[in-house]
């Protein structure tokens, strides 16, 4: 608890509904905590409040079928990601706790609407949302990085993995095993 109270590490709070998000922001303000809202189904409704609190959001997918009709996802605004972005909230997608299909659909929708850069949202934006931008999320001197080099744009079906680097060490090279050179 001491590092969180000193503001050295963020406190991650799972909250989907507006009331719970506001409670987390209030506790953060009262104790000087860096708050990361995880879940955030209704976060778009509170984008300005989240931005004013300096909190970030990790958006989680809705639960499997059957849990959406009466939960906070029903009240979630369709333009929630855009609202968070316009308000200046640092946000990213998380993958835990829900439907993988819904996660991909939400992410694809955000990209299609121009609400985010798909590579940044899973790298630099995710690191920033979790308070780790000084350590990870980008390829830069002094940062920890695991990365993949592709033969082309990774979003294109014809692109293939050329190299994989983990912790600064190359662990895969397609050219050495008979694959195409990058």
Residue 179 predicted with pLDDT over 70? no
Residue 81 sits in the same domain as residue 169: no
- Of residues 68 and 122, the one with the higher pLDDT is 122
Residue 103 sits in the same domain as residue 31: yes
Residues 30-55: pLDDT tens digits? 999 999 999 898 999 999 999 999 99
Give how many domains the chain has, as a whole number: 2
In a domain, 24, yes or no: yes
In a domain, 58, yes or no: yes
In a domain, 135, yes or no: no
Structural domain boundaries enclosing 172: 147-177
Residue 83 sits in the same domain as residue 163: no
Residue 168 sits in the same domain as residue 113: no
Model pLDDT, residue 127: 84
Model pLDDT, residue 65: 58
Instruction: Write the DSSP symbol of residue 104.
Output: H
Residues 155-175: pLDDT tens digits? 788 999 999 988 778 999 998
Mean pLDDT for the chain? 83
Residue 29 predicted with pLDDT over 90? yes
- Of residues 168 and 56, the one with the higher pLDDT is 56
Cβ burial of 70 (10 Å; 0-12, 13-18, 19+) is: exposed
Instruction: Supply the DSSP string of the chain, one letter for each residue.
Output: -HHHHTTSS-EEEEE-SHHHHHHHHHHHHHHTPPEEEEE-TTGGGGHHHHHHHT-EEEE-PPPSTTSSTTSHHHHS-TTHHHHHHHHT--EEE--TTS-HHHHHHHHHHHHHTTS--HHHHTTHHHHHHTT-TTTSSS--TTS---EEEESS-TTSTT--EEEEEETTEEEEEGGGGT----
In a domain, 138, yes or no: no
Model pLDDT, residue 178: 67
Residues 81-97: pLDDT tens digits? 889 989 999 998 887 66
pLDDT, average across residues 66-80: 65
pLDDT bin (cut points 50, 70, 90) of residue 11 is very high
In a domain, 142, yes or no: no
């Amino acid at each position: 608890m001491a590092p969180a109270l000193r503001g050295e590490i963020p406190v991650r709070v799972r909250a989907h509904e507006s009331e719970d998000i506001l409670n987390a922001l209030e506790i953060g303000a009262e104790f000087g905590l860096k708050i990361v809202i995880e879940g955030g189904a209704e976060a778009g409704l509170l984008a300005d409040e989240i931005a004013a609190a300096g909190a970030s959001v990790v958006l989680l997918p809705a639960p499997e079928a059957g849990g959406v009709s009466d939960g906070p996802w029903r009240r979630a605004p369709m333009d929630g990601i855009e609202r968070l972005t316009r308000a200046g909230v640092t946000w990213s997608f998380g993958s835990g706790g829900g439907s993988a299909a819904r996660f991909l659909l939400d992410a694809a929708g955000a990209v299609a609407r121009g609400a985010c850069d798909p590579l940044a949202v899973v790298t630099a934006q995710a690191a920033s949302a979790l308070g780790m931008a000084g350590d990870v999320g980008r390829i830069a001197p002094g940062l920890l990085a695991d990365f993949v080099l592709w033969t082309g744009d990774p979003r294109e079906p014809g692109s293939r993995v050329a190299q994989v680097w983990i912790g600064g060490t190359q662990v895969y090279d397609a050219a050495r095993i008979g694959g195409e050179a990058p």
